[in-house]
Amino acid sequence: MIPELILASGSPRRKDLLEEAGYAFRVVIPEVEENEDVSESIRKLTRENAELKAAAVSDGNPDCVVVAADTLVLLGNRVLTKPIDHGEASEMLASLNGKSHQVFTAFTVMHRDTGKILNRTVTTDVHFKNLTVPEMQDYHRKINPMDKAGAYAAQEHGELIIDRIEGSMTNVIGLPMDEVAELLDREFGIVPSIK
């Protein structure tokens, strides 16, 4: 018997990625306080948050396979989380302007009944265009930067700000689908139901 798949996330982008891949699943939003201590390494921070979200949902659904993820941006040694206000969003975008950074997504796949807790981290290099201040302001008028690490979204008018991406595009969006799909199939026999 193949277990039911749950996405432990309130992110519409992660939901869209799983749907586009053809998975049958349901969404349960984890009620947790995420760790935003940017003095920790980005790998530790994203992994802890992904596991925290997965555990919160797995507790009430021990027979289901739960997928949770956490995405953050690394610019040099600085970890960028979600901006707290529009001023910080503008500052974040300006700090990324004309530079390269890395997007880290940690994801956890958890199945309480079998005791399986699997963690992976995927990184992608993103190279920004050189933008003028009016171009950056125009970009933020087109999207809502407040719920996005680094105050941008590659899938929402990303062509206006991104020169190129090296690695997984779905990782930048919030869920590295190749790695998630491989793990779900190998460990649980969960494959897309719609092709």
* The predicted structure's pLDDT at residue 155: 87
Counting the structural domains of the chain, the total is 1
Q: Summarize pLDDT for 20-31 with one digit per residue, the tens.
A: 999 999 999 999
Residue 105 lies in a domain: yes
The pLDDT of residue 194 is above 80 = no
Residue 142 lies in a domain: yes
- Measure the CA–CA gap between 26 and 66, rounded to whole angstroms: 10
The pLDDT of residue 195 is above 70 = no
Label residue 193 by pLDDT band (50, 70, 90). confident
* The predicted structure's pLDDT at residue 83: 92
* The predicted structure's pLDDT at residue 92: 94
Residue 12 lies in a domain: yes
| Pick from 79-83, 102-106, 163-167: least confident | 79-83
* The predicted structure's pLDDT at residue 37: 85
Residue 73 lies in a domain: yes
- Measure the CA–CA gap between 32 and 54, rounded to whole angstroms: 10
* The predicted structure's pLDDT at residue 89: 95
Residue 24 lies in a domain: yes
Label residue 189 by pLDDT band (50, 70, 90). very high
Mean pLDDT across 154-183: 94
Q: Which position among 16, 37, 59, 70 bears the catalytic label?
A: 70
* The predicted structure's pLDDT at residue 6: 98
CATH number of the domain that 27 lies in? Answer: 3.90.950.10
Mean pLDDT across 14-42: 93
* pTM confidence score: 0.91
Mean pLDDT of the chain: 94
Residue 193 lies in a domain: no
Residue 25 lies in a domain: yes
Residue 63: domain span: 5-188
The pLDDT of residue 35 is above 90 = no
Label residue 148 by pLDDT band (50, 70, 90). confident
Q: Summarize pLDDT for 84-136 with one digit per residue, the tens.
A: 999 999 999 999 999 999 999 999 999 999 999 999 999 999 999 999 999 99
Indicate the burial class of 14 (C-beta count within 10 angstroms; 0-12, 13-18, 19 or more). buried
Does the annotation mark 70 as catalytic?
Answer: yes
Neighbours of 110 (CB within 10 A): 27
Residue 195 lies in a domain: no
